[in-house]
Amino acid sequence: MALNPREFWQRVSDGIAVQDLWAQLRADAHSSYQFYYKEVDHEPLERESGWKRFWRIAGGLFWAMMIKLSPGRRVLLLIALVLLLFPVVRLNVGDHEFEAGPLSFWGGAVLVVLLALELSDRVTMKRDLEIAREIQSWLMPSKPPSVPGVDIAFATRPANTVAGDYYDAFFRPNGRLLLVVADVAGKSVPAALLTATLQASLRTLAALDSSLTELVSQVNRYASEQSLQGRRFTTAFLAELEPATGVLTYVNAGHNWPVLQHTSGATERLETGGLPLGINPASSYQSGCTTIKSGDLLLIFTDGLVEAEDDKANEYGEQRMLEILEKLQSASASEAVKHIISAVDAFVGLTRQHDDITCLVLRTT
């Protein structure tokens, strides 16, 4: 089916305005530069300045990109660059001179072939990751449990297709509501796999008749067996709520301190607990206790929320988060989640998200 220029552009751009496309390209370029720059040897750069420094950085970035390709594709890239940089080749054989060219067309063709190969890999990987994300979504609740007098909402957004953040809310056999927000060190597939094992072990152990501190200790011992000698630890916040009284017992295992915003205007940070899960199997944990009264708001979040960065590498920070919470005294849990995420999005703009973001809001009514 033939497309007119307007329809063609709509299909290519998905209807995104030109200024937004340009902003996305700048954000992607900045993110890609940071990604490859990590691979550059910085020690020689400290001794250089001016153009020498520029060419060292350019060479380091080029090599960083090269080593991401398979050996065969590195050769293809080199062939394409040679054909583009030297489009005409002259050979002298005896008394005869031969000229081959222009070869730039073939250089471009080789680049297109290389792009097609890389795109094929990307599409295949993306399809597999989409399946992994679908499986991961099954492991976490799509909607909060129904609790009389308690309003709960949550939201999560991975930095990549799958996430290392985990949240949950379910009743234990003792009738208390267990709230969980956890963050496995790292992101993407490795963190997602450990998130799945954490969810399975927690759900199994929570079905036993044990106190909250015993539950956390048991999960910690299991996490230590899977943590690659502490390199894949997990920060977590676990709490048990008695809906009838509003009493909240909690353990903070190295996690960002949740915020309990009281209707009086006072703010309470929930920090009692111990080390992150998976560092030391013999770690002991203490529990804290507080009471959530009618109208109070509890926010549990992962570090991706407060460490979100704009295009100048400025962090969103906890102060901005606390200022937003002060404006949500009459908002429902779902409204509060939307306002919090929207505030972060407005701050970072089109800058690519570099860490998973998860938040759980609980408000008593």
pTM of the model: 0.77
Shared domain check, 185 and 118:
no
Shared domain check, 264 and 200:
yes
The CATH code of the domain that includes 291 is 3.60.40.10
Shared domain check, 210 and 281:
yes
236 within some domain: yes
- The number of helix segments (H) and strand segments (E) in the chain equals 10, 13
Shared domain check, 179 and 91:
no
Residue 98 falls in which region: left (phi positive, over 0), alpha (psi -120 to 50) or beta: beta
Q: Sign of dihedral through CA atoms 111, 116, 120, 122?
A: positive
Domain ranges, residue 101: 71-139
Domain stop point among 139, 155, 190: 139
- Please state the rounded mean pLDDT for residues 93-109: 75
Shared domain check, 203 and 134:
no
Per-residue pLDDT band for 100 (boundaries 50, 70, 90) equals: low
Give the pLDDT of residue 180: 97
- Helix/strand/coil for 310: coil
Residue 356 falls in which region: left (phi positive, over 0), alpha (psi -120 to 50) or beta: beta
* Torsions phi, psi for 118 (to 5 deg): -65, -40
- Give pLDDT tens digits for 135-147: 777 778 889 999 9
Shared domain check, 124 and 175:
no
Shared domain check, 193 and 110:
no
Q: Are 285 and 306 in contact (CB under 8 A)?
A: no
283 within some domain: yes
In the structure encoding, which two tokens stand for residue 282, read together?
Answer: 């013999």
Domain stop point among 139, 156, 182: 139
Amino acid at 214: E
Shared domain check, 198 and 94:
no
Alpha helices in 70-167 (DSSP H): 71-85, 104-139
Domain stop point among 139, 159, 194: 139
Q: Are 209 and 220 in contact (CB under 8 A)?
A: no
- Give pLDDT tens digits for 115-165: 998 888 888 878 877 777 777 777 788 899 999 999 999 999 888 777 788
Q: Are 278 and 233 in contact (CB under 8 A)?
A: yes
- Give pLDDT tens digits for 36-61: 777 777 676 666 677 777 788 888 88
Per-residue pLDDT band for 278 (boundaries 50, 70, 90) equals: very high
Shared domain check, 250 and 316:
yes
Nearest to 363 by CA among 291, 271, 303, 299: 299
Per-residue pLDDT band for 179 (boundaries 50, 70, 90) equals: very high
39 within some domain: no
Shared domain check, 153 and 119:
no
27 within some domain: no
Q: Are 253 and 285 in contact (CB under 8 A)?
A: yes
- Distances, alpha carbon 168 to alpha carbons 140, 358, 360, in Å: 6, 11, 9
DSSP character at residue 277 = B
Tally of structural domains, the chain: 2
Shared domain check, 129 and 85:
yes
Question: Residue 284's CB: how many other CB atoms inside 10 A?
Answer: 11
